[in-house]
């Protein structure tokens, strides 16, 4: 059987699949050429991440496909229900990248409260000529410890973020209508474990009480954070979006940054990705990364192996 990993797959995933007799191609095929490539090479399974789209027209045009796999969590680039109606297996790796995304969230948070996103821009320009001035500019940082983080979406990634927050000494609130209450178990280097019990919070309460807000929800038809939500937030809040572009209103975010409601934002995803708006890219109070939440070596190895195991189970 032939597999096209159009957005790549880790070497351990390739090795596991080849050991089970699969033929793997990691050629990156342009979206408009994908149907021709799949049909010409009689591809049985198509593996994607966020770049490649698998819509109804592709599914209809590729009768050899038996499986579509998403290396990651969100499935909004795949017409999942339609594929299943057509008899295709659709798989993803919901837990494999959770810790990687959570750590990136805290990269943005730690950088935000100490102005590192701005210092890293200005130190190369002024560090030798205005060192004392820059030191004064960045001398009013704050600590995360003792503050409250509000998490929208409490699946695997939201819970991984909560665990890091608890480890940093923060209070955790979450809003997720599908998770009324849950227990989080934190495991430590010496084998000790501690369990924390958390309950769902109403959206309005989270907005009013959180010092920092992190988004961990799939793509939505409407904004989860728009102008009305920003208006209800605590003044000086920090916002991080490492979920999906379009869950946060970027125009409203810019306005909230300008009027002081939001102190800083950390963005890994964008409404107009892969061409983020210039106002976002140039804003001095936004920490930026190019959709790399799951892009760690460890996460990619977990994703590749988890995909391989599911494919072997379903197609062999």
- Give the tens place of pLDDT for each residue, 28-48: 999 999 999 999 999 999 999
Angstrom distance (rounded) from CA 168 to CA 91: 34
| Domain co-membership, 161 together with 269 | yes
Domain span including residue 52? 2-94+297-315
| Domain co-membership, 108 together with 55 | no
Per DSSP bridges, beta strands 2-5 and 23-25 are parallel
Closest CA to 7 of 20, 21, 25, 22: 25
User: What is the value of pTM for the model shown?
Assistant: 0.89
Using CA of residue 127, residue 132, residue 133, residue 138, what is the dihedral sign? positive
Q: Is 55 a catalytic residue?
A: no
The residue from 41, 89, 255, 273 that is catalytic is 273
User: Mean pLDDT for the chain?
Assistant: 96
How does residue 51 score in pLDDT terms, banded at 50, 70 and 90? confident
- The distance of Cα 308 from the centroid of its chain, to the nearest Å, equals 22
Closest CA to 201 of 193, 209, 189: 209
Per-residue pLDDT at 54 = 97
Poorest-pLDDT segment among 166-175, 193-202, 212-221: 212-221
Per-residue pLDDT at 72 = 86
| Domain co-membership, 121 together with 239 | yes
Q: Residue 20 sits in a domain of what CATH number?
A: 3.40.50.720
The residue from 244, 250, 302, 306 that is catalytic is 244
Domains in the chain, number? 2
User: Which strand (E) or helix (H) includes residue 131?
Assistant: helix 131-137
Q: Is the pLDDT of residue 65 over 90?
A: yes
| Domain co-membership, 165 together with 222 | yes
| Domain co-membership, 147 together with 270 | yes
Q: Is 291 a catalytic residue?
A: yes
How does residue 73 score in pLDDT terms, banded at 50, 70 and 90? confident
| Domain co-membership, 88 together with 158 | no
Q: Is 216 a catalytic residue?
A: no
Angstrom distance (rounded) from CA 21 to CA 113: 51
| Domain co-membership, 190 together with 254 | yes
Q: Is 144 helix (H, G, I), strand (E, B) or coil?
A: coil
| Domain co-membership, 120 together with 228 | yes
What is the per-residue pLDDT across 79-111, written as a single tens digit (0 to 9) for each? 999 999 999 999 999 889 999 999 999 999 999
| Domain co-membership, 139 together with 280 | yes
| Domain co-membership, 253 together with 156 | yes
Q: Is the pLDDT of residue 171 over 90?
A: yes
Where is pLDDT greater, at 218 or 302?
A: 302
């Amino acid at each position: 059987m032939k597999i096209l990993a159009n957005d790549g797959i880790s070497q351990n995933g390739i090795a596991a699949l080849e050991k089970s007799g699969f033929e793997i191609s990691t050629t990156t095929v342009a979206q408009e050429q994908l149907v021709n490539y799949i049909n010409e090479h009689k591809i049985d399974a198509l593996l994607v991440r966020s770049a490649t789209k698998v819509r109804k027209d592709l599914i209809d045009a590729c009768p050899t496909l038996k499986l579509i796999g998403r290396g990651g969590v969100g499935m909004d680039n795949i017409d999942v229900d339609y594929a299943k109606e057509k008899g295709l297996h659709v798989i993803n790796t919901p837990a494999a990248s959770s810790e990687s995304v959570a750590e990136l969230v805290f990269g943005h948070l730690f950088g935000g409260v100490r102005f590192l996103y701005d210092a890293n821009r200005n130190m190369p320009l002024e560090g030798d000529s205005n060192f004392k001035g820059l030191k004064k500019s960045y001398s009013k940082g704050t600590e995360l410890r003792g503050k409250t983080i509000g998490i929208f979406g409490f699946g695997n990634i939201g819970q991984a973020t909560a665990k890091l927050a608890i480890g940093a000494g923060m209070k955790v609130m979450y809003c997720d209508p599908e998770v009324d209450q849950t227990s989080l178990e934190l495991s430590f280097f010496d084998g000790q474990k501690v369990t924390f019990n958390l309950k769902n919070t109403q959206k309005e309460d989270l907005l009013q009480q959180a010092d920092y807000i992190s988004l961990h929800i799939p793509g939505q038809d409407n904004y989860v954070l728009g102008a009305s939500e920003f208006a209800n937030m605590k003044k000086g809040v920090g916002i991080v979006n490492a979920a999906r572009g379009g869950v946060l209103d970027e125009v409203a975010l810019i306005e909230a940054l300008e009027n002081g409601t939001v102190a800083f934002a950390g963005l890994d995803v964008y409404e107009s990705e892969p061409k983020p708006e210039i106002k976002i890219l140039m804003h001095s109070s936004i920490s930026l990364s190019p959709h790399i939440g799951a892009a760690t070596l460890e996460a990619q190895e977990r994703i590749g192996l988890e995909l391989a195991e599911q494919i072997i189970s379903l197609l062999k």
